[in-house]
Amino acid sequence: MSYWMETAPADTHPPLTADTEADVAVVGGGVAGLATAWELTRAGRRVVVLEAQRVAGGTTGHTTAKVTALHNQVYDHLRRTRGPAGARMYAHSQQAAVERVAEVTAELGIDCDLERRPAYTYTTRDSQVAALRAEAEAARDAGLAAEFTTTTGLPFPVAGAVRVDHQAQFHPRRYLLALVADLVARGGRVHEGTRVTGLTEGDPCRLTTEDGHQVTAGQVVVATHYPVFDRALLFTRLSVHRELVVAGPIPETADPGGMFITSEDGKRSVRTAPGPDGRRLLIVTGESFTPGTGHAPEGFRRLEAWTREHFPVTGITHRWAAQDADPTDTVPLIGPLHPGARNTYVATGFAGWGMTGGVLAGRLLTALLTGEEPPWARLYDPRRMRSALRELPPFLKHQAGVAQHFVGDRLSAAGPRAVADIAPGTGAVVRVGAGHRAVYRAPDGTLHTLSARCTHLGCLVSFNAAETTWECPCHGSRFGTDGRVLQGPANTPLARRDLDEGEAGSGAGEEPAARGDGED
């Protein structure tokens, strides 16, 4: 369990049990959805939040929780692809989100361990120093108080780093649960355990839940991290990565005194938080991989070994993982859901910087829904196809990867491997005739057999042994061993399939192919 989830238990909110109406329906109860709902409620709108599981419990409950406008090495790239004006708008809007968190924390008196800290992007390699010097210059030109330095609080030497002062870190769950309490006190409604499966656009719009209830709303915001409704085919412009996190106490004297990130070694991100007994909790993130393709157990071992090598942790007390969606052209997608949309909006593609991105989305979407247009609205507009085409190489690379998994995984998956080879507590995709089954053997030996075809667009899932989940390598959908959806864009469970231990490779049990819950 993540440290944030463990240390901030939440009140439950009832599922939707009847049709209802609202001015605005927000689908998704993470940072983007809750920030948007809270801002809209303060603006006088009647808002209902619909969350498939628990609010602030998905990606937001498993984040590193850095609140900073320094996003690794983004500003030199933006200066080249969006021009100096685009880089300045990005910096201004992201820093405004940092300040918004501080303002709201003070206004509501939220006890969320908010701390002002410098943020660093660093390298240990001389070959990368020139790139970081260029990043420091670009960030400074964009309006951030950025500087290049060779001195940090890290317990090892660096070749260079970009430093931006007066950034922040906090406890994300405590912050967002306080927003939930305030929006409910102001008349907003929150429904957990309410999965939305249908959207009919219009004036008004109508949402349908998996239980058949309808929500009628003048406007709809899709803030499900990865869009579960995608009328603009945003999945072609989003790639997904998953990262591992380890945490453990260190002496307060060993606190490096900032937030740090590097792309080296499969990424390393470091921060601390107030810990027990006057110590600090060190939080280290890294070992980035595509869901369904990584070796998470080995990744956790590498990340823990790196942490112990560089910091005096007294023990690893927490391990968890987080998932992020990266836009092919770098900038998040916040605004109208598709070119013809009038009453539907989306917020996605925060690329690992969802704390500022989500807060920014709340302010930007509230402005758009109330008839305003901030100067940076066009920068984040999801309809910016010209920008996407300018970033054609990463776009094509992403599509090639999806195609490789869609076709290649079917050719290489498991083959005639016997179900009897699957050890207790593990899972594998096995071939049954021309199709595939996702088979998990519980510790007591019981088999749980599902269709191996992801219900989003039909790629084959793969087993994540570290988290005991099925994951889709194409667009990041994640499922429990019972088939339930843990993370979208899929919003339909994996279909259950019967299977005898002797069936693998026999062709028995095949059914005609069908999009979603059929076989290939």
d(CA 66, CA 71): 10
The residues near 111 (Cβ < 8 Å, ≥ 6 apart) are 174
Give the chain's domains with CATH numbers. 3-389 (3.50.50.60), 391-520 (2.102.10.10)
Q: Are strands 47-50 and 485-487 parallel, antiparallel or unpaired?
A: unpaired
Interval 426-483: pLDDT, tens: 898 988 766 789 999 999 998 999 999 999 888 899 999 888 999 998 888 999 999 9
Residues of the chain with pLDDT under 70: 294, 385-417, 433-434, 500-520
| Tokens matching residue 355 | 């704390």
Indicate the burial class of 204 (C-beta count within 10 angstroms; 0-12, 13-18, 19 or more). middle
pTM: 0.88
Query: Quick one: which of 69, 91, 68 has its CA closest to 78?
Result: 91
What pLDDT does 416 receive? 37
What pLDDT does 502 receive? 55
What pLDDT does 191 receive? 98
Q: How far is CA 202 from the centre of its chain?
A: 29
Instruction: Find the length of the chain.
Output: 520
3-state secondary structure at position 90: helix
Helix (H) or strand (E) holding 75: helix 75-81
d(CA 460, CA 410): 7
Burial track 93-108 (b if 16+ CB lie within 10 A, e otherwise): bbbbbbebbeebbeee
Beta-bridge partner residues of 159: none
Interval 249-294: pLDDT, tens: 999 999 999 999 999 988 999 999 998 788 999 999 999 888 877 6
What pLDDT does 397 receive? 52
What pLDDT does 390 receive? 58
- CB neighbours of residue 457 within 10 Å: 17
Is the bond preceding 249 in cis, omega lying within 30 degrees of 0? no
d(CA 391, CA 445): 49
What pLDDT does 466 receive? 84
